[in-house]
Amino acid sequence: MSANLDGYEAVIGLEIHVQLRTRTKMFCGCELSFGDDPNVHTCPVCLAHPGSLPTLNEQAVRYGIQIGLALGCEIAPRSIFHRKNYFYPDLPKAYQISQYDIPLARNGRLGDVRIHRVHLEEDAAKLIHVGESGRIHGSDASLVDFNRGGTPLVEIVTEPDLRDATAAREWLQLLRSTIKAIGASDVNMEEGSLRCDANVSIRPAGSQELGTKTELKNMNSFRFLERGIQAELERQVALVRAGEPIEQETLHFDPRTGTLTPLRSKEYAHDYRYFPEPDLVPLAPTQEMLEEARAALPELPAQRLERYQSELGIPEAQAKLLAYDGELGDYFEAAVGAGTEASATGIANWVTGDLTARLREAAGEDGEVHAADSRVTPQAIAELVAMVEAKQVTAQAGREVLAKLVVEGGSPAEIVEREGLASISDSGELEGIVAAAIDSDPDAAEKVREGNMKAIGPLVGYVMRETKGRADGGEVTRLIRKQLGLD
């Protein structure tokens, strides 16, 4: 999905907040939770009672270092925390403990996008707008749940290297898969453990100057991120064409209506009056911590993508689907290692294509079934692909077998035997059906004789119907040509 910019170029950078999967909050001992009763995980520290002092969560630091290393960043030998001052109902201290000019990590890269910085901070509480338009007993009102307040966050800020909405969505999916592979977060956008803002501007194509940017705030799905960026690009192009200025502001994208609504003018760093946090000492990771974090990194999605392409010969589009979805990639690798004669490219085709489509169809609109949780085992899909490649069953019959596997599981060979789906190996039987197909449609047969090979479709279709998809399409075509005297 890309906006028609007609002479203009999009310039997009992302700011991503990742809730870390620690047991306790960033600066206190309150346990983290999702879905618990409001305000049950609080203490004097995260509620900012006078005299309470923060204590840094070591596991959050370790996760932050791992994320920085996974993104190819330089880890700062010494970084410090700052107070980011602003007044809002979900911030009991009236400031947020974050990092400003000396972040934990900087100067990294993931794919084609440079990473400007990675820093640690705490999350704000959660505002809950009650009733229609947030009205309680006739008054405008909102409630605050402080359970989330103080949750450890890593903020990742990219350079403005993205050039369209689709690229932004795909890159965020790569980032999500990378962090999930590390185990630092469950990166669930629906639950808010992965939140993304987009800084969007346009400039004349070929120009190196940056235009006035706007910020799209808190988009909670990959699809909404893509749609929101496209809508904002189209809005900015329309303003420029009309001779109107683009204001630097923060916007909300409503996915239901596709509209953009201004929230506030965009803040600058000086608006927050940063100053060093006096209650926390500088953060100086030891060499041992860095070595442990580096050693704990698994194979990351970008590395897996490269391996799938270079070693297994899988096309880029399919390799991305498998590499960026860790569970699907693990399923694929289990199928490749199942000990069958199936090729890796064949398994990739069936896993990312027919199997994924069948599982989505079975789940319906209300849910999703992952391959690893389905009745189709990696061994079964590998055996089925091997049978198709060996022409023991046709691709069409293989899809019928797959449909049975999705519903009931089991062995592909047993289903083929039970349902009579094995390929027809008797050429005499197939020749008779081909002759009947030619007799059934003499007009199509004559067009094929005259060199119009598009007309062969009805003849092939007749044979496939009569054989219930058990005939090999290439062999059917060869026999038709033979009987029509073209070979």
Q: Given pLDDT bands bounded at 50, 70 and 90, which one contains residue 132?
A: low
Is residue 472 over pLDDT 80? no
DSSP state of 243: T
Contact 308, 336 (CB under 8 A): no
Separation CA 19–CA 185 (nearest Å): 6
What's the token pair of residue 329? 């990639």
The mean of the pLDDT values for the chain is 90
- Asked if the 427-483 domain carries CATH number 1.10.10, the reply is yes
Separation CA 304–CA 323 (nearest Å): 6
What is the pLDDT, as a whole number, of residue 157?
A: 98
What is the pLDDT, as a whole number, of residue 447?
A: 86
What is the pLDDT, as a whole number, of residue 442?
A: 86
Segments making up each domain of the chain, as ranges: 8-295, 301-419, 427-483
**Who contacts 373 (Cβ-Cβ below 8 Å, separation ≥6)?**
none
Tokens 């910019």 found at:
5
What is the pLDDT, as a whole number, of residue 140?
A: 67
Over residues 404-419, the pLDDT tens digits come to 999 999 999 999 999 8
Residue 78 or 450, more confident: 78
Is residue 443 over pLDDT 90? no
Contact 217, 252 (CB under 8 A): yes
What is the per-residue DSSP string for 93-162? TSEEEE--SS-SEEEEEETTEEEEEEEEEE---EEEE-SGGGEETTEE-EEEETTSTT-EEEEEEE-S-B
Average the pLDDT over 242-252 and give the result: 92
Strands 214-219 and 249-254: parallel
Average the pLDDT over 71-95 and give the result: 94
What is the number of helices (H) and of strands (E) in the chain? 16, 16
Contact 438, 409 (CB under 8 A): no
Is residue 87 over pLDDT 60? yes
What is the pLDDT, as a whole number, of residue 319?
A: 96
Nearest CA to 379 out of 314, 440, 332, 424 is that of: 332
Contact 387, 413 (CB under 8 A): yes
What is the pLDDT, as a whole number, of residue 15?
A: 97
What's the token pair of residue 182? 């590390």
Strands 105-110 and 113-122: antiparallel
∠ CA 189-195-197 to the nearest 5 degrees?
135
What is the pLDDT, as a whole number, of residue 142?
A: 82
What is the model's pTM?
0.82
What is the pLDDT, as a whole number, of residue 368?
A: 66
**Who contacts 430 (Cβ-Cβ below 8 Å, separation ≥6)?**
424, 463, 467, 471, 475, 476, 479
Nearest CA to 393 out of 414, 417, 423 is that of: 423
Q: How far is CA 302 from CA 85, 176, 322, 330, in A?
A: 37, 12, 11, 15
Is residue 236 over pLDDT 80? yes
> Poorest-confidence range of 192-201, 217-226, 424-433?
424-433
Over residues 30-70, the pLDDT tens digits come to 999 888 999 999 999 999 999 999 999 999 999 999 999 99
Residue 457 or 213, more confident: 213
∠ CA 266-147-275 to the nearest 5 degrees?
45
What is the pLDDT, as a whole number, of residue 23?
A: 96
What is the pLDDT, as a whole number, of residue 426?
A: 62
Count other C-beta atoms under 10 Å from residue 54's C-beta: 20
Helix, strand or coil for residue 349? helix
Q: What is the CA radius of gyration of the chain?
A: 29
b (16+ CB within 10 A) / e for 81-92: bbbbeeeeebbb
Over residues 350-373, the pLDDT tens digits come to 999 999 999 988 876 555 678 988
What is the pLDDT, as a whole number, of residue 62?
A: 97
Q: Given pLDDT bands bounded at 50, 70 and 90, which one contains residue 218?
A: confident
Separation CA 347–CA 416 (nearest Å): 19
**Who contacts 265 (Cβ-Cβ below 8 Å, separation ≥6)?**
247, 248, 249, 250
What is the pLDDT, as a whole number, of residue 427?
A: 67
What is the pLDDT, as a whole number, of residue 135?
A: 52
What is the pLDDT, as a whole number, of residue 50?
A: 93
Is residue 437 over pLDDT 90? no
What is the pLDDT, as a whole number, of residue 367?
A: 57
Contact 61, 283 (CB under 8 A): yes
b (16+ CB within 10 A) / e for 169-207: bbbbbbbbbbbbbbebbebebeebbbbbbbbbbbbeeee
Count other C-beta atoms under 10 Å from residue 70's C-beta: 24
What is the pLDDT, as a whole number, of residue 151?
A: 96
What is the pLDDT, as a whole number, of residue 53?
A: 96
Nearest CA to 171 out of 19, 346, 375, 13 is that of: 13
Q: Given pLDDT bands bounded at 50, 70 and 90, which one contains residue 138?
A: low
Average the pLDDT over 4-21 and give the result: 92
Contact 59, 296 (CB under 8 A): no
Is residue 136 over pLDDT 60? no
Nearest CA to 327 out of 339, 335, 317 is that of: 335
Considering the chain, what percentage of its residues have pLDDT values greater than 90? 67
357-363 contacts, C-beta under 8 A, 24 or more apart = 358/402, 358/403, 358/406, 359/406, 362/406, 362/407
What is the per-residue DSSP string for 247-282? P-EEEEEETTTTEEEEEEEPP-GGGG--EE-TTSPP
What is the pLDDT, as a whole number, of residue 270?
A: 72
